[in-house]
Structure 1
Amino acid sequence: MVTDRLTDGVRIAQLLASEVTGSESRLRGLTVVDADPDVEATTGGALAYRIARETPEDGSDAGDADAPRETVAEVFVQPDRARIEAIAAPEAAATAATEAGLRVRPKAARPPRTLVFVEDGAQVKRALTVLEAIRGEPNAG
């Protein structure tokens, strides 16, 4: 039985970023932007990076590096977890997180956000369903 769990917030966020950048089919069109490679976890959460959806104005495939990007989520690191703040499609993010068995709560902000807590490295794969839900929402954000 494995007793070691990955509960370092920075490492969990790194794993999530790797999944986003390496998942061509599931998360096509999402990318990691504004990454802080030297981010240090704080109790309140330090911004590690943003997740953006490529939104070409002409509606073509979103593979161009110069294509406009829409921030759909932000990832923060705390000492013992990572936190995804869904900016786009907060309701879809909440539903997907709940169905994936992740801890979730709304954030009173304008516009509203949904907080999804990734408390273990094993939960990273489940968190991808949240990003898929955000990605799949038309005109989200």
Structure 2
Amino acid sequence: MVEDRITDGRRIAQLLASELDGREDGELAHFAVTNADRDVEPTADGARAYDVTRHDERIARAFVHDDRAHLEFEAGHDAAAEAASDVDLRVRPKATDPPRTLVFVESGAEVKRATDVVQQVSRVLAETDEEE
């Protein structure tokens, strides 16, 4: 039996939220999905679906499009860009002040890799916390 590839942005964001909020192993123990908009409807530019928090501090926001989702990293944006590139996820900087990084999750199969990116950002932020 061949499974259909999941390319519905809302469903991809739901799968990612389940990984981030449901797992308690490794760095994921530090994360929660907060401020979820359960009625979010995908848009071409991306509609905010939820926040990703680490120790009650928002590090990213998740957005849904018709055919994909993306994470907008506010904290650890350089680490997010490098980690996403390393696992072959599409990534681009967002020219704002302060700068942000967008990591695109274009199928259900990419959710695990996006979770790896979040964990790497957490490790970098933990190192920064220790230095302060």
The two structures have a TM-score, normalised by structure 2, of 0.90
Aligned position for 1:64 = none
Amino acid corresponding to residue 12 of structure 2 in structure 1: I
* Corresponding position of 1:24: 24
Judging by fraction of residues, say which structure has more helix. 2
- In the other structure, the counterpart of 1:13 is 13
Instruction: Give 3-state SS (helix, strand or coil) of 1:28's partner.
Output: helix
* CA RMSD, 1 decimal: 1.4
> In the aligned structure 1, how far is the partner of 2:31 from the partner of 2:3?
33
Q: Matches of 1:134 and 1:3 in 2, distance apart?
A: 31
User: What is the aligned counterpart of 1:101 among 88, 98, 119?
Assistant: 88
Gap runs ≥5 in structure 2: none
The CA deviation at 1:3 is: 6.5
Counting matched residue pairs gives 126
Indicate whether 1:89 and 2:90 are aligned.
Answer: no
C-alpha separation between the residues in 1 aligned to 2:34 and 2:96? 22
Equivalent position SS for 2:91: strand
CA-CA distance at 1:2 after TM superposition: 3.4
Distance (Å, rounded) in 2 between the aligned partners of 1:5 and 1:50: 25
Q: Which residue number in structure 2 is paired with residue 132 of structure 1?
A: 119
**Partner residue, 1:47:** 48
Deviant stretches of 4+, over 6 Å = none
Q: Give TM-score scaled by structure 1 length.
A: 0.85
Which consecutive residues of structure 1, in runs of 5 or more, have no partner in the other structure?
55-68
Q: Distance between the aligned counterparts of 2:99 and 2:107, measured in 1? A: 25
Classify the secondary structure of the residue corresponding to 2:5: coil
